[in-house]
Amino acid sequence: MAVAIRLSRGGSKKRPYYRVVVSDTRSPRDGKYLEQIGTYNPLLPKDSAERVKLNEDRARHWLSVGAQPTDRVARFLDAAGIKERAARNNPKKAEPGEKAKERAEERAAKAAEAEEAAKAAAAAPAEEPTSSQEPAEGSAGEPATGDDAAVGASTDEPAEG
């Protein structure tokens, strides 16, 4: 007979209370069990000593005869120092789905475009000061002619026109 150490739910609606029981794997969750070896009250604070109570001697006995704990009970047994629980590793669980990957790629493309635009905007003002250092038409080095003479000349007389 396959034996499991698992939780059997009690309590009322929205107020769970569990017994840690040893039962045949074929029996229903809240059905017949061989022995109750502890309790679990999830409504209590995590640091409370009353949250999980286990009869360590009986738990060790049932583990020695081959009872298999469920994941949650294995956590309790590990916390109590009764049975070491191997860490689980599922690298695919942390990997985002297809749609999330597409959204991330779109965000990366938009960020790259914005960065290029920022670089172009930063480079454009940097070029203007270098072009303004060149001598402009009508400056002191060259004589002014035509319309430029009227615009560039500062005289008290009004321009003809």
Q: For residue 43, what is the domain's CATH number?
A: 3.30.1320.10
Whether the CB-CB separation of 85 and 75 falls below 8 Å is answered with yes
- Answer whether residue 87 is part of any domain: no
The 10s digit of each residue's pLDDT in 99-130 is: 999 999 999 999 999 999 888 888 876 555 55
pLDDT in tens, 40-63: 999 999 999 999 999 999 999 999
In a domain, residue 18? The reply is yes
Report yes or no on 148 lying in a domain.
no
Place of tokens 């047994």: 77
Asked whether residue 129 is domain-assigned, the answer is: no
**Predicted local confidence at residue 135, as pLDDT:** 57
DSSP 100-125: HHHHHHHHHHHHHHHHHHHHHHHHHH
Angle between helices 71-80 and 56-64 (to 10 degrees): 120
Work out the mean pLDDT of the chain and round it to a whole number. 84
State how many domains the chain has: 1
pTM: 0.56
Position 139 scores a pLDDT of 54
Q: Is 16 left (phi over 0), alpha (psi -120 to 50) or beta?
A: beta
Specify the pLDDT at position 134. Answer: 56
- 114: in domain: no
142 belongs to a structural domain: no
Q: How high is the pLDDT of residue 88?
A: 78
Domain that holds residue 38: 3-80
pLDDT score, position 122 = 84
| Better-predicted residue by pLDDT, 129 or 158 | 158
Residue 74 included in any domain: yes
User: Which one, of 64, 67, 69, lies nearest residue 52 by Cα?
Assistant: 69
Q: Is the pLDDT of residue 97 over 80?
A: yes
Percent of the chain with pLDDT over 90: 60
Strands 3-12 and 52-54 turn out to be unpaired
Q: pLDDT by residue (tens digit) across 121-155?
A: 888 765 555 555 555 555 555 555 555 555 555 55
Backbone angles phi, psi at 8, to 5 degrees: -115, 120
Is residue 91, in this structure, part of any structural domain at all? no
